[in-house]
Amino acid sequence: MKSIFTVPRPKYRQARNEFRNKASKAGATLRSYPITYARGQFGEKLFVDVAVWGRNDATKVLVVDAGMHGVEAYGALIGLLAYMRVIRRFGIPQDMRIIFIFPLNPHGTSWLRRVNGHFVDLSRNFLNFALQKGRRFCHLHYDELNDLINPKEIRGLSWLTQRLGMGAFIIKQNMREALRRMKQGDLRGIFSREILMFWSEYSYGWRCLKRAISMGQYKYPKGMQYGGSCEEPENIVLRTIIRTLIPKTVKFLAWVNGHIGLGEWGKPLIITEFGRADPMFEQCVSWYGKVARIESSHDIYAFSTASPDMGAIEHAVTEEVLEIAPNCEITAFCLEVGTYPLWNLGWATHADGWLHQYGNPFSKVGKKIKKEMAEYFYPDDPTWRRKCRKAYLRIIGCSVHGLSEAT
């Protein structure tokens, strides 16, 4: 059987078989949670598969989930498979349980999408919907940008109009900001790089655009970064996994939420929800500082994506784990391995959103978009794949080591 590591374009069924076979050979207990509301790209049934090692009264637990953003599962998988070889050879520490989840969003993995079968970005779905009472909210600028971000056509004149529109938005925001500074008498600020270089990623307007998109929204179903209107089936499965597979005896938990895309080519980037002054940020630095760049989401987005208003997975993990083990110390973060520049990833995701609403995934254009999605989130490059495998392997290794030392 060919390994997922060597195939140019990965397929869900093959990846699933490899995950289950290798996990089973490494002595794991396997569980499968069916996702029944839809089928995969080739009509296949979809499952969230879980491999578990270690005792059910362990006090230290490591969970790695792959593919919450569907297509990103394949890169994370090569890391999981590599660590299974380590387990096969050396076993796991006595007082530890290790849980690998592949993939959390099988629909997206099969269809090479970031969202699930309901067009929901799961990393924004772990919101307390009961508290929201049906409120449909989004970032101030998202309303303004909605037609540009989610157009009905993406080629020809529409393509041009859309890019010009985004350029105009950036210039407008820069001018607004310049005016605001002028009123405050901040003359140096008006001539700063962030005001004058509108096309640069440092520009004020560009950051407004990035923030409006990356914050996620709950107002436009099928629009980019839509967080849903209720708990999605994958969200419910994840909560079930936590309640049934994490021992009540757990005292220390490390949770690696696996992603692919952001950061430098083939290099690991850890994004934590803790501010730099928080002791948990310090802990991340001491566990992973030697092998990965560590950023706080407060610095990247100027807000915390795990706040109850944003619905990131860390929120659900903390909520559910503290329910079963109130004194547990949790280190949860998002692990990215970088591929292409953010613009490429953004446009491909955007085109994929258009494709599933207005186009045909099996048409010529559809195949081209799918090819791009596969390449941007699982590059067909042996060097990148080796780096990605190493990045995941190191982070998992550091987690096991950190947990082992924790007292």
What is the binding site for Zn ion (CB under 5 A)? 69, 72, 259
Instruction: For residue 125, give the 3-state DSSP assignment.
Output: coil
Match 């089936």 to its residue by tokens: 233
Closest CB to Zn ion among residues 122, 403: 122
Residue 52 Cβ vs Zn ion, minimum distance, rounded to whole Å: 24
Residue 68 Cβ vs Zn ion, minimum distance, rounded to whole Å: 7
Residue 80 Cβ vs Zn ion, minimum distance, rounded to whole Å: 16
Contact 195, 203 (CB under 8 A): yes
| Type of residue found at 16 | R
Closest CB to Zn ion among residues 74, 169: 74
Closest CB to Zn ion among residues 11, 113: 113
| Type of residue found at 366 | G
Residue 303 Cβ vs Zn ion, minimum distance, rounded to whole Å: 18
User: In whole angstroms, what is the distance from residue 297 CA to residue 314 CA?
Assistant: 12
User: In whole angstroms, what is the distance from residue 158 CA to residue 156 CA?
Assistant: 5
Residue 77 Cβ vs Zn ion, minimum distance, rounded to whole Å: 14
Contact 226, 220 (CB under 8 A): yes
DSSP string, 226-294: B--SS--HHHHHHHHHHHHHS-TT-SEEEEEEE--EEEEET-EEEEESS-TTSHHHHHHHHHHTTTSEE
Closest CB to Zn ion among residues 120, 178: 120
Q: How buried is 109 (Cβ within 10 angstroms: 0-12 exposed, 13-18 middle, 19+ buried)?
A: buried
Closest CB to Zn ion among residues 40, 258: 258
Please name which of 171, 179, 182, 180 lies closest in space to residue 208, comparing C-alpha atoms: 171
Closest CB to Zn ion among residues 86, 262: 262
Closest CB to Zn ion among residues 77, 96: 77
Closest CB to Zn ion among residues 52, 122: 122
Task: Please state whether beta strands 268-272 and 329-338 pair in parallel, antiparallel, or not at all (unpaired).
Answer: antiparallel
Contact 391, 337 (CB under 8 A): yes
CA atoms within 13 A on the CB side of 382: 2
Residue 400 Cβ vs Zn ion, minimum distance, rounded to whole Å: 23
Length of the chain: 407
Residue 297 Cβ vs Zn ion, minimum distance, rounded to whole Å: 13
Residue 265 Cβ vs Zn ion, minimum distance, rounded to whole Å: 16
Closest CB to Zn ion among residues 113, 259: 259
CA atoms within 13 A on the CB side of 96: 19
Residue 173 Cβ vs Zn ion, minimum distance, rounded to whole Å: 26
